Amino acid sequence: METIEKNIQKTYTLMGADGSPYESKVPGTYGGNRKAKIYGRLDCHAALRAIAIGGYEKERVFFADEETAIAAGFRPCGACLREKYRIWKRQQ
């Protein structure tokens, strides 16, 4: 019996600078909370804890890079991006 291989390319849904979702062949490098407008590292302990207890998984968004997150109006996370958060806070 001949095996039929399907060439299925995995895609990821990322948020663009305009806040609209788009499909990407490359996963995002930052995650965020759509409701709180916060972005951070994918390994952020605060985000992972919130997700583990059923927190904001439905509000989770992903960004290709930090510049896109900022352009979409998100601020740095105070837990995993402390220095960038401090700079952002001083500018407010």
Who contacts 8 (Cβ-Cβ below 8 Å, separation ≥6)? Answer: none
Q: Is 73 in contact with 63 (CB distance < 8 Å)?
A: no
The answer to whether position 56 is within a domain reads yes
Q: In which domain, by residue range, is 77 found?
A: 12-91
The answer to whether position 81 is within a domain reads yes
pLDDT digits (tens, 9 = 90+) for 25-80: 999 999 999 999 999 999 999 999 999 998 788 899 999 999 999 999 999 999 99
- Output the six-digit token pair for 45: 């302990």
The answer to whether position 3 is within a domain reads no
The CB density around residue 47, as the number of other CB atoms within 10 Å, is 24
Task: Please state the domain count of the chain.
Answer: 1
The CB density around residue 6, as the number of other CB atoms within 10 Å, is 4
Map residue 81 onto helix, strand or coil: coil
Residue type (1 letter), 6: K
Residue 55: CATH number of its domain: 3.40.10
The answer to whether position 52 is within a domain reads yes
The answer to whether position 2 is within a domain reads no
* In the chain, beta strands by DSSP E: 12-15, 21-24, 30-33, 38-41, 60-63, 75-76
pLDDT digits (tens, 9 = 90+) for 55-64: 788 899 999 9
